[in-house]
Amino acid sequence: MVWDGLGRKCRTRNAEMYRVEKRTGASSAVSDGAASGARSALIARRSSLALRAAFSLPELMIALVILALGLLIIAAALPVGLSYTQESVNLSNAEVAGEYALDTIEQYLQLWELGATVTYNLDTMNPIFRPNDGTNYLPNYEPLVKVRPMVISNLEPRRSGGAYTAVYDTEGEKLITNWLSRYSITPNNSLEIDYRLFAGAITDAEVALSIVSRAYPPLQNPQRRFPADWLSNPSGWYNSPAVSNAELVQAVTRQVLWTAFYRRVSYDQPGADATPGTADDIAGDPHLYEIIVVVVRRPSERHRFALQKIPSSFDDPAAENVATPSGLDRVAPVPWLVSFDSSRSDALPRPAIMTYTGTGENPRIPDPNVAPRAQLIFKCKPAVGRLLPIGSVFIPARNDVMPNHFQPLLPQNAGFAPYDPHALPIFTVTERPDDTTIVVDNNGVYPWLALAAGAPDDNAIAWPIWVIPPAHVERDSANNPIFDSRTCVIGVSRRYVRLPQFDAP
């Protein structure tokens, strides 16, 4: 074994001859020439191997194409992964924020009792509506609009004098009043609406919660109370928390916010004799309510929510003009009361109902011989369609319990099929092929109307719904909000709550 001129071991025959000649001391020009030739051949061979080990240009191009395809796949998967991550964060925030909101409402919301010596005045005004005759609450009365937005404090997204202005979300009762006008119900009808919200005393309304408690993650002290206020305003002490401007600033920076609805779930019903007003009537629970919390996520701190113009057409609604003080946008969402297209007979997906020959309320059972639909299709005008992007929800405002049994004052003939007076299905938009078509998954419940030609319930406006409009940043030249194409709703939470009642001072 010898080393060649390149520093490698060599076992060639010439190398052996070179070693023998070196050992014997015999060296010749011939031997030197042979060894030199062997080294030259080895160098040439290694050079040839080195050339054969490199990539050719076509091979390099194919490798680059494969690398580019891999990078494209990774780049395409990255947004999907980020979207799933954001969706997971939204679902987590929605669940936690919804439970926090329900806990807060259950802790702080209460009712006031009225009696023969206590009038229904601003000092005893409830943060939720209850039918009354001006002196007493009427637990047997069933109002037309069952689901109502809770009166909660909100914020205007601009500063006035260096401070944010807290306002009250009383828009729900105003919208209900406008909708009830089709039944010739005036704002002084305390059986259907809280008319005092329109008597110039809106700012004196007792709010259920402050704007600070509507923000998530929660602030340190969302419902601070000052015990000294009990002496000056005992009723307001429960519902009017003290909030500093610093806390309002923190609330403005929160992107996860919520709004709430409520409905009474237990009304009086006839007993075994099926005759209302008799001794065997089944008494309802006037303190049992369902609270529905809708959690939203503003895409940025600049996003805000528009108010619905009053009065306006419910199947073709418009936003308030921000040029007027009453039309300023809000930081937290404000529900709109809208309806599907009143000019179309197919606005609501009505099922085929079995003929009922029994007595009592028609159970409105869908015909089992007709295959159920996988999806329900609603028809609306573009103004409503733009409020319902994919992923948004709408909540029916009506579901008659016992039509005309206890209070024959008004026709009550709107709800669901099959008949379920205690249900409140909430529909989630799964598709929106265009601005006039809303598609939801069939959850087994259909909208229902007892259509009577010429009656107020002869079109889709009699089946109103609550929606949360998408957030917006800018408005167009006509001062209309440019709604985002994606919904801001990230979750809905619900809970039955039996609200405590206190004696009015």
Q: Is the Cα dihedral 28, 31, 35, 38 positive or negative?
A: positive
pLDDT of residue 503: 62
182 and 144 in contact (C-beta within 8 Å)?
no
Q: What burial class does residue 397 get, using C-beta atoms within 10 Å of its C-beta: 0-12 exposed, 13-18 middle, 19+ buried? A: buried
pLDDT in tens, 272-281: 766 666 777 7
Cis, peptide link before residue 382, omega less than 30° from 0: no
Q: Note the pTM of the prediction, 2 decimals.
A: 0.79
pLDDT of residue 51: 53
Q: Write out residues in the chain with pLDDT < 50, as ranges.
A: 2, 4, 20, 26-27, 29-30, 115-124, 200-205, 237-239, 403-409
- Say which DSSP state 277 is in: T
Q: For the beta carbon of residue 68, count every other beta carbon within 10 angstroms.
A: 10
pLDDT of residue 405: 47
pLDDT of residue 486: 92
Alpha helices in 109-198 (DSSP H): 171-180
Point out which residues pair with 434 in neighbouring strands. Answer: 437
Distance CA 136, CA 471 (A): 40
pLDDT of residue 139: 77
Point out which residues pair with 216 in neighbouring strands. Answer: 256
pLDDT of residue 137: 76
